[in-house]
Chain A
Amino acid sequence: MTTPLVQVEDLTIDFGTVRAVDRLSFTLEAGAALGVVGESGSGKSASASALLGLHRGTGARVTGTVRVAGTDVGAADDAELRRLRGAKAAMVFQDPLSSLDPYYTVGDQIAEVYRVHNSVSRRAARARAVEVLDRVGIPDAARRARSRPHEFSGGMRQRALIAMALACEPRLIVADEPTTALDVTVQAQILDLLHDLRRETGMGLLLVTHDVGVAAESVDDVLVMQHGRAVERGPVAEVLGAPRQPYTRELLASVPRVDEKRAGVPGPRTATEAGPLIEAVGLRREFGRGAGRVTAVDGVSLTVHAGETLGIVGESGSGKTTLGRMLVRLIDPTAGRLRYGGTDIGSLPERELRPFRRELQMVFQDPVASLNPRRSIGESVADPLRAAGETDEARIRDRVRELLERVGLDAGRYERHPHEFSGGQRQRIGIARVLAAEPKLIVCDEPVSALDVTTQAQVISLLAELQRELGIGLVFIAHDLAVVRQVSDRVAVMRQGRIVEQGVADDVYGSPRDPYTRQLLAAVPALDPVRAAARRAARRELAAA
């Protein structure tokens, strides 16, 4: 019997009084792949860092034993630990931009790491850097090695980080949310790359992710964590196909599926008789001047009816956020018309826009930045009421309490400040503030992308409920194709400032016409490993075509 590549026993990590990881034990055989899945605060990243002894010197208390590739991480001295890091076990971090030094070229950084573990000349180390950059699929690697990180795209940076991990031929790669900051098509490429590398080099992989789909695509075994503890472990098909623990079942039930029809809605309800609530014709927005001018939104036309949800999907830089902000006139259109209730509000000056302001509302992405940290949440929610001229304090209070309860919050927390609430709760507060304005149209810009899946599901169902109740028009902007499908009657797919495809949700998802839409859909990770393999093959075909 061979010793496992990774052996973790009774690992406990405390940050001050907070216990991040609680008596975690697991093993990983050489060459195997384990996915650690959990929501934020589950301790999955802290556990991954412990494999390389990265908690040393940070004030965190680590107990239990961790053995990686023959090194006892807890007992090893600093020099021994350094020999483990990068050479035997290498880490790939989440945010590829901040994970590289902005001042040095990518090639130099990889060469530096290589020289730490191998006594070779600078020139040989650079050659090795070019070699691994080429291996991870960076075109013209010899030239690109001389570029600095900010000259790379997000996907290229993540490839460069993986190249750095490969440089010393480690036996284990620890990948901490390696694709979270990336677009779905790029995510698929990176996951495919990791898959291929593992097959070729036979190294072990420990993949930490919040996204069950990502794990399903890439690993053999999966370990579900919650509150610092292991909930369930087993082969990926078993755990995801027939979960035994209630938490795993809840987690899986919350994950939106891209291939399932929207639940509980009797088909699209496009109300045509009343005419559209808002209509955009040839909407266009440019930023910057002269040579630096970019067109963020390039001639977009769309309509939204009362009681209807229009989903807008697109990757980063597609212009979806700019479009959303133009719809509520937070950003002024450069050209095009925006008709609302018979008025072209696209070019109205701020003063004349006042009467329309409150009817067009927005739910923002970042639940931290969308509430003023220095004001109580009750005051924030009361804003639209006061702006509407309500002066009776008692009436304002009553109405705010009512709204807080409506979105599922305790009305008694009126005086509390935003930092006392969780991300999901803050998003509910944002929704309460929007409702206080009694809007006709709500634009939701990535309203759930900063939330865990279970919270995500709750916020989405709240939005759907409110829409049914109040008959408002909803524009739902997101990068996540599955989420959009679960909320939308109609869907618009955006790319480079244009809408490439628009139609009834089930039609767009069921039989996409535009090649870009097809590419997007093929890139969405599947929960079922068998189907994931099929998708991978489909992606290869699309790429080859």
Chain B
Amino acid sequence: MQRYFISKLGQSVLLLFGVLLLVFVMVRITGDPAALMMPREASPEDVEAFREAMGFNRPLPLQFVDFLSGAIVGDFGNSLHFKTPAMPMVLARLPATVQLAGVGLLMAIVVGIPLGLVGGFTPGSLVDSVGRGLALLGQSIPNFWLALIMILFFAVRLGWFPSFGRDYWNSVIMPAFVLGLPTMGQIVRLTRSAVLEIRGEDFIRTANSKGLEPGTIYTKHVLRNVAIPLVSVIGVQFGYMLGGSIYIETIFAWPGIGQLLEQSIGWRDFPLVQAIAIFTSLVVLAINLFTDVAYAVIDPRIRYDT
């Protein structure tokens, strides 16, 4: 267990290093990051001065060492737009995004798991059809479009929810639902197929051969096994939601990291974009690590694997 955790932690650190390298390369991929970051109408002298100021004219390895040592202490340079350090601005936006993704994930779990369970236990039933329909919709509806349609109906026409911002208690409901819908579909699909798969396992036949009540078999023998893949998919989905909230936050003017990303791209504020990419990756890697640990806690095959 300890060794498992340490190896996972080591992998995460390695991946984080990979993220830093990737971001460093990406910003320089056009060959001239200064031109990328400066307004098009800037004079050559201004661009040259900027290049000097940002250190883009120094040798690449040196730049990378600087970049790395800054990253270790959480310094990702100043935002070009705000002229203040980038990372604190990203951190300030974190709670809103976590709230959005958290509520969305909660909705996805609360609706998705029961639908998937019922669907898996009674394939072909009405509830199963509803669940499968929802899964298909969740996969197929573009969420940036669904967000617009929902604003049109529930905010503009019906006036049930505010159409933007984060000012009221019910502001979070529409954006969280839209963000969580694909995840909801995924959870329905996964739960359903896991239940179907586990039900066909030999050990369920053994449980039946012991004469156990169906209720006992479902709750004790099936559910515990279904929980294992569920935990890992929920972790992965939470990561995707945090990284994929850019449309939803933009459309609903939700003051989170996604909105900041959209804005900073508009401003061509690449130090800020870079800070967002790195920080979000860090959060996602942390969630993945946490998921791996949770996975080990509920699966004795990993827990007791020396």
Pair from one complex? no
